[in-house]
Amino acid sequence: MALMRFKFLDADEEDLIHSQSLRCLNEIGIQVHSPSVQKMLLDGGAKVDKKTGIVKIPESLVDEALRKAPKSFTLYSRNPKYNMQLPVDNIPYVGTTGLAIHMNDMETGKQRSATRKDAIDFARLGDALDPVDFLWSTIVPRDVPEESHTVHELWISLTNSSKHLQQVECRNSDDAKMQIKLASLIVGGEDELKKRPIFSVVVSPDSPLVLRKDAIEGQVELARAGIPIISMDMPLSGMTAPVTIAGTLVVVNSENLASLVVTQLAAPGSPHIYSSDAVPSDMTTGDVGFGAIEVPMIFSALGQMAKRYGLPSMVGDWGLGGGSHPGMHNSYSEISSTTLDTFSGTDLLSGIGSSDAAKGASLEQMVIDAFLWKNWKGFLRKMTISEETTALDVIKSVGHGNIFLANPHTIKNFRKELYQRDRNIVAWETDPSNKMVPEAKTIVTRLLKEHAPAPVDKSILNEGEKLIMNYERMFKK
């Protein structure tokens, strides 16, 4: 099958990134702030400096982790029709943006703090939109205690959508345990959750080369419960990684391999996804350069490294909401960078509904991004290149100087061979402005009114709410 994907690194350059990452882990090491994880690594064969917390990981330990890590697995959903098998064989799965702290109010058009109600609306809209394959915990509700926002996000998403959820934070081991308890209610117990994890968790190393105590201890708890880990580091070239692309790749790869080692020592065979959202820093403003020209290069290289290791990956973003308000405001080159990300060879993408460089979210932008993805998927599909599809017999029958339009071969194959763009969406694409926002708003209103996600039994809902209330009492002492 022919598949259009970008390849940034030659084979010898892949070898170099790999070997330099092994040297980085063995000679420089990674700082681990958790004594219990330090001990686990020490028992596994790493060298630990207890005074500094720096752990030096030998190549043998990395190799062992790569052998134990599953090369394919399923991200399950409440509704099995939304289950996602990894790795993909052609078009990556796409999900929403995550951890937005404010949103664009659909009625007033102004930015405001996000609420629990917003999180419910985003989950329900994500459930309704066919182009959205899974959800991130899109909204950080500001009307709940800060210490419990993650469990609110998880519970809201799992009960207002039947698609897979990627929870975009685990605060600590207690937080992890509560997330596991809540998801277990939905599926019928922790044993069933281990067989059919309906959520996964993004756990981010701190670049450069730090595993934070609370996050890494939460990761250990989640891995032991069979919850897939997405090890998404987010260094900025020139800030928290070397300004060179090669240097950034070594930091990302080293952090991913270190995180993988922790997962496999904690729970051999537990699912783990190679991931990064590394981008350059905008050296003129200090902002995050999501639309930088180098971004597709970084993601393509990381996609290659994930495939080298045989690990499912999440390296790349989808979503054009770079402005502070919904619409298509980005310049041509910034949009090109975002869309080229999708050719990295990744299995998963996130970003639908993002605004204000992922600090905010918008229901209208979620519709715009999802509809544009519907057209863009055509670039990523497989094409069959075979003796049959070369159609030499058809060429011979049509003959010199004639046309193929009326030939039965054309009539039989054109719909499956040629991707037909949705012309209504094309109309949005040709106008880089906010003129499509009113139409998107109408779609949001209709879907939230008409679409009902698969219900959760009322007794389970009540039990989950009680668990969250009891959890929050911990923070009031």
pLDDT digits (tens, 9 = 90+) for 240-276: 999 999 999 999 999 999 999 999 999 999 999 999 9
| pLDDT at 287 (0 to 100) | 77
Query: Which residues pair with residue 313 across a beta bridge?
Result: 274
| pLDDT at 331 (0 to 100) | 59
Domains and CATH numbers, the chain: 11-64 (no CATH), 66-380 (3.20.20.480)
DSSP-assigned states of every residue in 91-156: SPEEEE---BSEEE-TTT--EEE--HHHHHHHHHHHHH-TT--BEE--B--TTS-GGGHHHHHHHH
DSSP-assigned states of every residue in 213-272: HHHHHHHHHHHHTTPPEEEEE--EETTTB-SSHHHHHHHHHHHHHHHHHHHHHHSTT--E
Dihedral of CA atoms 379, 380, 386, 389 in degrees, nearest 10, equals -40
Query: Which residues pair with residue 237 across a beta bridge?
Result: 241, 280
- Of 293, 282, 295, 289, the closest CA to residue 322 belongs to 289
Lowest-confidence segment of 15-24, 108-117, 331-340, 453-462 by average pLDDT: 331-340
Does the pLDDT of residue 423 top 90, yes or no?
no
Does the pLDDT of residue 115 top 90, yes or no?
yes
The amino acid occupying position 306 is A
| pLDDT at 293 (0 to 100) | 86
pTM of the model: 0.93
- Of 109, 105, 162, 172, the closest CA to residue 139 belongs to 105
Q: Give the number of other CB atoms < 10 A from CB of residue 4.
A: 10
Query: Region 382-392: what's the mean pLDDT?
Result: 92
Does the pLDDT of residue 337 top 80, yes or no?
no
390-397 long-range contacts, CB within 8 A, separation 24+: none
Q: Give the number of other CB atoms < 10 A from CB of residue 143.
A: 13
Residue 221's pLDDT band (cuts 50, 70, 90):
very high
Cα–Cα dist 166/203, whole Å: 10
